[in-house]
Structure 1
Amino acid sequence: MPSYKAPSFQDRIAAAGSAKQKALTALKAKPPVDEALMAQQRAAREAREQEIAIERAAKAEALALAKAEKAERKAAEQAAVAEQQAAADAAAALKAARLTPASAAEMKAARDARYAARKARNK
């Protein structure tokens, strides 16, 4: 059995040169680029990118609309809560006013009004 013999420097250079030559011939054998086909592919790619951009814009618009509706709904809820709070405060103030005794001047004015009404009815 023969022993393994490493290739010499000249063998390695020759192998590299033949590999380089083989790559060059493969590159030269490649068919030329068809400009019409490239233009068609470029137009298709640009149309696809434009469709994607339109879809993204539509999604962003829908998201902004949803956010605006949510903010509007929240503002309406807050206004309703504020209105209920104001009504409750007014009712509490009315109840407090009814429970506080009238001043002497208010009592005299009410008595005088009743007296005047009675006099007017009897005439």
Structure 2
Amino acid sequence: MGAFDYRNFDDRRKNSASAKQMLLEKFKSRPPADDPEMIAKAEARAAIARAREERAREREAARVAAEKAAAEEKRAREEAELAAQIAREEEEARLAAEQKAAELIARKAARDARYAARKAKARR
């Protein structure tokens, strides 16, 4: 508390009064609101605020565009993967059908061979 080491009550009261007087003088020394310099400063602050808001809108628009592009790319990639999967499944189904048809033909040939052998045996 060394900073508040005033010697007596009168010193503290004088210091308080002088501090209040300095604040009052500072407030009175402010230029009025219709002062051209104050108006120019206010306009400059408003222009800076508008520019800041515009940059924020541009960043938001860029972010939205990037998200939209990423979503579109993801959707295109998923569609390509789905098309590839459908093509694989169709190829597998085609191969399975070919294999089933080949097995059916082989079974029919074996059956026909047995039938022909039985007929040949019966004719002898």
Matched-pair identity in %: 20
Q: Which residue of 1 aligns with 2:31?
A: 33
Q: TM-score, normalised by structure 2?
A: 0.63
Q: Gaps (5+ residues) in structure 1?
A: 1-5, 108-123
Aligned length: 97
Q: How far is the alpha carbon of 1:40 from its aligned partner? A: 1.0
| Residue 17 in structure 1 maps to residue 9 in structure 2 | no
Q: Which residue of 1 aligns with 2:77?
A: 77
Q: How far is the alpha carbon of 1:37 from its aligned partner? A: 1.5
**Alpha carbons of 1:57 and 1:32: their partners in 2 closer, same or farther (altered >3 Å)?**
closer
Q: Gaps (5+ residues) in structure 2?
A: 1-5, 109-124
Q: Which residue of 2 aligns with 1:46?
A: 46
1:48 alignment partner AA: I
Higher helix fraction: Structure 1 or Structure 2?
2
**Alpha carbons of 1:36 and 1:88: their partners in 2 closer, same or farther (altered >3 Å)?**
same
How many Å separate the matches in 1 of 2:89 and 2:19? 94
Q: Which residue of 2 aligns with 1:96?
A: 96
Q: How far is the alpha carbon of 1:25 from its aligned partner? A: 6.4
Q: TM-score, normalised by structure 1?
A: 0.64
- Cα-Cα RMSD: 3.0
Secondary structure of the 2:101 match is coil
